[in-house]
Structure 1
């Protein structure tokens, strides 16, 4: 069986993978206290937040790929393009009773690139929901990405990316596999 595919956007020469825990919102919420945040979670998904590094520049000809990051400028074009965020099947909330006990793994062509635990995240899921909902109303079905473990790296056309999410005991919760292809616009 051929894996699903991800297309490198037209004009991108430096594309990186970032495996992340995605949190699926269950109901409309705004200004949620951190202690009540988990009541607004329907479940989870495994996400690959793909980043077109050469789109993170202030101007197309400025050169340095992390220029927008260094200046604190938005990364909209680097993160928001067709096929930019492959997402796994939904994992119900009751299958992950403690979000600090999830392991995330990403390999490219069978080589481990990322292997981390949500316990090492800079911000907890309740904090993220509370913080975001202070400024943006979250709606049912919204997907909140939580950050990526060390090991972010490049992918090229022809690569196969596999990502998994496991519980504290190592039991696999979900998995996604896809091939990397050049844009069909090329």
Structure 2
């Protein structure tokens, strides 16, 4: 007997357009803001960026609510600029990397911090800490041709109306095009890949019932309640 499986493709809406952006792979950059590196106990010097992944199924645009995940008592918010690629390549130059960007979104890299801490202690992978269901909520995409190149602008996150994270895209240790170029030395990047580009200082716990409001100048806003 022959089995044929058709898996659903994750896609993101694009602001003011009818098209959907199909998501391929999800890459994330760790400790890309100096103050966040410090609060995590790391050296903020400009060392080479390091990467980890989330499954595409972690990404979605919430309709007002995001589910609190199981197996954690310490879920943390990390507001990030997300870039979406409409073309890729291998060992890209910085200039070529810049041309790969289709658009931007406001994203949250949710982290089961207790599981991450235990994984670090044991020298184990972070998959269960970073790659769980609904761990990457995002706002709709804004095309570069509609908002321009974003290399500066406020990035903030508030929790129940109280500001927790505040920074500027210009504070990124590695800029967007540098991240893409470096990542392309490890992978042949493809259309549909998205990259979470790191979070500013102020990460902290989120609980059920909390209202999360993240915003990035030029990229939009993402607001939801944890349920």
Q: TM-score range by the shorter chain?
A: 0.7 to 0.9
The aligned counterpart of 2:178 is 127
Of residues 206, 210, 214 in structure 2, which corresponds to 1:159? 210
In 2: Cα distance, 1:73 partner to 1:103 partner: 34
The alpha-carbon deviation at position 166 of structure 1 amounts to: 0.8
The alpha-carbon deviation at position 137 of structure 1 amounts to: 1.8
The alpha-carbon deviation at position 87 of structure 1 amounts to: 0.5
In 2: Cα distance, 1:71 partner to 1:29 partner: 35
3-state SS in 2 of match to 1:114: strand
The alpha-carbon deviation at position 67 of structure 1 amounts to: 4.4
The aligned counterpart of 2:195 is 144
8 Å CA contact retained: 1:3, 1:177: no
Change (3 A) 1:140 1:55: same
8 Å CA contact retained: 1:15, 1:155: yes
Q: How high is the TM-score relative to the length of structure 1?
A: 0.82
Please provide the CA RMSD for this pair: 1.9
The aligned counterpart of 2:223 is 177
Segments of 5+ residues of structure 2 without an aligned counterpart are: 1-61
Q: Deviations over 1:141-178 (max 9, x none)?
A: 211011101110100011010111114xxxxx411111
Aligned runs of 1:11-160 on 2, under 5 Å?
Answer: 11-56=71-116, 66-69=117-120, 73-160=124-211
8 Å CA contact retained: 1:3, 1:179: no
The aligned counterpart of 2:6 is none
The aligned counterpart of 1:170 is none
In 1: Cα distance, 2:63 partner to 2:211 partner: 8
Segments of 5+ residues of structure 1 without an aligned counterpart are: 57-65, 168-172, 182-186
Change (3 A) 1:126 1:73: farther
Q: Deviations over 1:53-90 (max 9, x none)?
A: 1221xxxxxxxxx2434676531111111110100111
Q: Deviations over 1:88-147 (max 9, x none)?
A: 111111244342213211100000011110100111111100011111122212110111
In 2: Cα distance, 1:96 partner to 1:29 partner: 24
> Once superposed, which parts of structure 1, at least 4 consecutive aligned residues long, lie more than 6 Å away?
none
